[in-house]
Amino acid sequence: LFSTGDHPWDDLRFPASGINPIGAISPPSVDDSETGLPGTLLFSGNQTNMIAGVAQLPHKWVPGTELHPHIHWLKATGSTNAVTWEFYYRIIGNPGHVSGAWVGPLAGSIVAGDQAVSNEHLLSSFAPIDMTGFWESAMLAWRVYRRGATDAENNAVNLLEFDIHYQSNKMGTEPEIPLPP
């Protein structure tokens, strides 16, 4: 169980197979090989690729707690050459709020895995998002880039999933439409 003040973590999940890259600036391609990772997104080693989406905080989120965005990915050909990931976000807020400005770029840093190992599952994190003053069902827009045109790695890499960790402390909210605290 959890000690006083602790809250369990969960994920808002955006699997690569569920992200539609059409319309993005230089969208990544979909891995359609049978021997690779079909359905994942291939981010090029010689151009900038982008994906984007919108997230809504669940009713079980602890209002005002920070969010921790990260990506799961791998290199089919392991090397120590750095891959440059960037993250941007824009807090849309709760109903009645005016959307904030885009924040970023936030640089990704590998927190698990070894990119020198071929096909190893890697996890890169971005700086936390301060959600002070927001409550359940708040929304934010996000963008993830791989700067393949300028980073050291010339090979494509596979994005497996983009996630946002959040803390929860309840099953949901009593009202269907959450109210300000």
Q: Give residue-wise pLDDT tens across range 119-155.
A: 999 999 999 999 999 999 999 999 999 999 999 999 9
pLDDT computed for residue 14 by the predictor: 73
Cis before 105 (ω within 30): yes
Number of Cα atoms under 13 Å in the Cβ half of residue 30: 12
pLDDT computed for residue 174 by the predictor: 77
* Cα end-to-end distance, the chain, whole Å: 27
Number of Cα atoms under 13 Å in the Cβ half of residue 103: 15
Number of Cα atoms under 13 Å in the Cβ half of residue 114: 3
Phi and psi angles of residue 18, each rounded to the nearest 5 degrees, phi first:
-105, 0
Task: Using pLDDT thresholds of 50, 70 and 90, give the confidence band for residue 18.
Answer: low
Please state whether 46 falls in left (phi above 0), alpha (psi between -120 and 50) or beta: alpha
pLDDT of 3 over the 50 cut: no
pLDDT computed for residue 26 by the predictor: 84
Task: Specify which residues 29 forms β-bridges with.
Answer: 42
- CA 17: distance to chain centroid? 14
Which residues touch 75 (CB under 8 Å, ≥6 apart)? 83, 115, 118, 119, 120, 122, 153, 155, 157, 158
